[in-house]
A and B are shown apart, each in its own frame.
Chain A
Amino acid sequence: MKPIKDFVRQFGGSISLEESLIVRKENRYFLINEKLKKLITKDFFYVGIYLGKTRKGKFFPSFNLLSMIAEKEANKINVDKKTAWLFICGRDIFKQGIIKVMGSKRKGNYTLILNQHRECLGFGRILHNLDEERGGAAVKNISDVGDFLRREK
């Protein structure tokens, strides 16, 4: 539970997760409901909503968790269509592609990346203060939904 809470906090947000409904399978975390709780046995492979995994002390969120954070108040950036496409291809974000910034604009902070439909495409780290006029990449891509395709390769 702590790795998830710590991760969410980095976006300046919080989500309420019922601790008794979070199950762990090795290094992976899942959110379940009461119905699944009654049915599940310990040898499951996957259950409910996948939240993410820890590896070498670091937490790697699922896209479901990122979407849950995006539904609440948190650091978020809306990007234009072309930038959204480049982002899911693994590219960083340039300032010209940013439509709106919500929450932190500070260098070093994590922010969620949303498309024009306010759907969460992934997250990144702000590379320089977003209220400063500077060239180059503004947000470094850390994880994006294009990962579903890359996993299949």
Chain B
Amino acid sequence: MSGKEFFVGRYEKLGWKYEHSEPKQAIRINVMNTKKADIIKRLEALGIELEKIPFLENGYWIYHSKFSVGATSEYLLGLYSIQETAAQIPATLFTDLKDKIVLDACAAPGGKTVQLADLMQNTGAIIALDVKRQRLTALSNQLERCRVKNTIVYHMDARQASRLKIKFDRILLDAPCSGNFATDKEWFSKRTIKDVERNAKLQREMLTEATKVLKDDGEIVYSTCSLEPEENELNINWAMKNLNLQVEKINCYGEKAPTNIFGKQLDSSIENCRRIWPGQTQGFFVCKLKKRVDTL
């Protein structure tokens, strides 16, 4: 069970007709390091034309640029980050991040870690984990470039987060996933349903550990850049039943997630999750979870 026809057929059953997409390049201004108006002026003076992303406070699309936006002195000084549009959404969904203790469970290469630090105004603490040691260097470089001050990085599998003996106010679980065709031209030829199921299992293990280390009044934001429901709606439905989590309402770009997946009826609150089909952005899924009040 693989191939373009197989996967596109699944998307159609979920209500989306396949279309080729090329997401626009996006940047996010690090407002802890610069004023928005100043950096926009500087980039425009360099001949970089920006277009405000309507649903993101600090996000801009690169409308036109003669050269790489990853090679300006403004980028090297950490005044902005290059971050895909949909990937800018999860960190913005937390309430009240200032002074909180935050877990970024799968942090490398660090785009969202920097964004969390920016939203926290470098207060509180971020514990950033990644299981792949070689990716920690990329993460550290991002933190240094963007002058992040509030983060501790560990070489650790998110499924072992309880070893840290910390209870977290906020947890970002941007889980490793199967990805999607919008950012990988070879996607259809290399992915099978087995990969999807393997990733879905790993994600459930991560959700289980995240729930263990979450404070009773804490929040988990779960996201993937997969379009496969096993990694998204079905996993969240499983987490509601098995981890006593509830899905919170969120207000962000994207469609309400379907509650009927290939004939299987899910909890109605799954519609509070957001599914983003490829178009202006890559494919994405995001939701916010809390511990169910009646289980506390």
* Cβ contact of A43, chosen from B149, B154, B166, cutoff 8 A: B154
Pick from B71, B137, B145, B152: contact of A40, CB under 8 Å: B152
A-B contact pairs, 10 of them (CB 8 A): A33-B149, A41-B164, A45-B140, A46-B139, A46-B140, A47-B153, A84-B73, A88-B73, A119-B77, A149-B76
A64 at the interface (CB under 8 A from B): yes
Contact partner of B125 (CB less than 8 A), chosen from A39, A43, A84, A151, is A39
Q: How far is the CA of A100 from the CA of B77 in the complex (A)?
A: 21
Specify which chain A residues have a CB less than 8 angstroms from the CB of B152 in the assembled complex. 36, 39-40, 44, 46-48
| A148 and B145 in contact, given A39-B127, A41-B164, A46-B140 (Cβ under 8 angstroms) | yes
Q: Considering only CB atoms, which chain A residue lies closest to B110 in the complex?
A: A46
User: What chain B residues lie within 8 Å of A117 (beta carbons)?
Assistant: 42
Collect the chain B residues with CB atoms within 8 Å of residue A35's CB: 124-125, 150
How far, in whole Å, are A18 and B3 apart by their CA atoms in the complex? 59
A22 to B125, CA, bound (A): 17
Roughly how many angstroms separate A64 CA and B33 CA in the complex, as a whole number? 12
**A contacts with B: majority SS:** mixed
Does B136 lie at the interface of the complex (its beta carbon under 8 Å from any beta carbon of A)? yes
Asked if B143 CB lies within 8 Å of chain A CBs, one says: yes
A: contact size bracket: 20 to 34
Q: Given the known A-B contacts A39-B125, A44-B154, are A49 and B76 also in contact in the complex, defined by CB atoms under 8 Å?
A: no
B101 at the interface (CB under 8 A from A): yes
Since A44-B154, A46-B136 are in contact, a sample of 8 more A-B pairs with Cβ atoms closer than 8 Å, ordered by chain A residue number, is A33-B150, A39-B152, A41-B154, A46-B139, A48-B150, A49-B149, A50-B140, A152-B141
Check: B70 CB closer than 8 A to any chain A CB: yes
B187 CB to nearest chain A CB (Å): 24
Docked-complex contact A115 and B76, CB < 8 angstroms: no
Chain A residues with CB under 8 Å of B144's CB are 50, 62-64, 148
Please give, as numbers and ranges, the residues of chain B lying within 8 Å of A62 by CB-CB distance. Answer: 144
Decide: B149 and A145 in contact? CB cutoff 8 A: no
Say whether A67 faces chain B, with CB atoms less than 8 Å apart: yes
- Could you say which of B71, B124, B166 contacts A149, with CB atoms under 8 Å apart? B71
Task: List chain A residues, Cβ under 8 A from B143.
Answer: 46, 50
Q: Is B151 part of the binding interface, using a Cβ–Cβ cutoff of 8 Å?
A: yes
A122, closest chain B residue (CB): B76
Q: Which residues of chain B are within 8 angstroms of A49 by Cβ–Cβ distance? A: 147, 149
Please, what's the 1-or-0 string for A125-152, where 1 marks a CB less than 8 Å from any CB in chain B? 0000000000000000000011011011
Measured CB to CB, the closest approach of chain A to B267, in angstroms, equals 35
A48, B137: Cα distance in complex, Å: 15
A40, A47, A63, A85 pick with most chain B CB within 10 angstroms: A47
> For window 148-175 of chain B, which residues contact chain A by CB distance below 8 Å?
149-155, 164, 166
- Residues of chain A lying within 8 A (CB to CB) of residue B145: 63, 145, 148
Chain A residues with Cβ under 8 A from B77's Cβ? 119, 121, 145
Complex contact B166–A39 (CB within 8 A) = yes
Give which listed residue, A39, A50, A145, contacts B76 with CB less than 8 A: A145
**Min CB distance, B96 to chain A, in Å?**
17
Bound complex: CA A81 to CA B180 (Å): 41
Contact (Cβ within 8 A) A121 B136: no
Residue of B at shortest CB range from A144?
B76
Is A121 in contact with B73, judged by CB distance below 8 angstroms?
yes
CA distance A84 to B173 in the complex (A): 40
